[in-house]
Amino acid sequence: MKESGRKQGAASPCAACKLLRRRCAQDCVFAPYFPADEPQKFANVHRVFGASNVNKMLQELPVHQRGDAVSSMVYEANARVRDPVYGCVGAISLLQQQIDTLQTQLALAQAEVVHLQVRQTASFSHHGFGPASPSNSGSPSSKLMRSQDKTTFDVDMMVNQDKKRGGSDSGGAVATVMVVRVT
C-alpha cells in the first residue's frame, strides 16, 4: 500500500484530501496510506478518530511506523463502525470466550482420558493381569490395593471456570481441579 496513492501525481488527490475537499500537497501525510481507490478506508478512520487527530498521530510517528499505525487505526475504526458499543473489544472478548469454551472442552476430554485409564487399570488388576500400573507396582499402596477384594475408583472432576473479573484482561483462565480418589 505504500506510495500507491501518489502514482497519479498531485493531480489526483489521495482519499483523505478528496474527502476533506482540500488540495493534496506533494508531502501529504495521508497520501502514502490512503490511496484514492480506497475511499472507505479513510472515511471510517475519519469518522471514528477525526482527520486532524489522525494527522497529528502520523506526524508524531517516525515514517517507518506510520504504516502499522494506519493499519491499527483502520482496523479499530472498522470494528467501531461494525460494533459501535464495543468496537474491537467485542471481537477480543468473543475470541476470549471461545478460548475459555475450548479450554473447558479440553479439560473435560483430558479428564475423560484419565477416567478411562483408571477404569482400564482397575479392570486389569481385578483379573490379575500383572501389576495394576507401572507407577505403583511394588509400592506399599499397590500391595494394599491388591490385597483388597474390591477396589473401586472414583474420579471426581470439578471444572471451575474462572469468570472474567474487571474486563477483558487475562483473568479468563480456566482452572481445572481433578481428584482421583481410591476407596
User: Judged by CB under 5 A, which of 8, 11, 12, 17 binds Zn ion?
Assistant: 17
Q: How far is CA 150 from CA 110, 126, 128, 147, in A?
A: 26, 8, 12, 9
Smallest Cα–Cα separation from 93: which of 167, 4, 1, 183? 167
Residue that has been written with the C-alpha cell 472414583 in this structure: 154
> How far apart, in whole angstroms, are the C-alpha atoms of residue 35 and residue 45?
13
Q: Taking the complex as a whole, how short is the minimal distance between the CB of residue 167 and Zn ion, in angstroms? A: 38
Provide CB contacts within 8 A for 125, sequence distance 6+: 131, 132, 145, 146, 151
User: Judged by CB under 5 A, which of 6, 20, 28, 93 binds Zn ion?
Assistant: 28
Smallest Cα–Cα separation from 88: which of 101, 103, 71, 100? 71
Does residue 132 belong to the site contacting Zn ion (CB under 5 A)? no
Q: Taking the complex as a whole, how short is the minimal distance between the CB of residue 6 and Zn ion, in angstroms? A: 9
Total number of residues that touch Zn ion (CB under 5 A): 6
Q: Taking the complex as a whole, how short is the minimal distance between the CB of residue 67 and Zn ion, in angstroms? A: 16
User: Judged by CB under 5 A, which of 27, 31, 64, 132 binds Zn ion?
Assistant: 31
Q: Taking the complex as a whole, how short is the minimal distance between the CB of residue 46 and Zn ion, in angstroms? A: 12
Residues forming a β-bridge with 175: 160
* CB closest to Zn ion, residue no: 28
Choose one: 17-25, 100-108, 120-128, 138-146; the region binding Zn ion (CB under 5 A).
17-25
Choose one: 6-14, 56-64, 111-119, 143-151; the region binding Zn ion (CB under 5 A).
6-14
Give Dmax over CA atoms of the chain in angstroms: 94
Residue nearer to Zn ion on the CB measure, 31 or 48: 31
Residues in contact with Zn ion by the rule CB under 5 A: 14, 17, 24, 28, 30-31
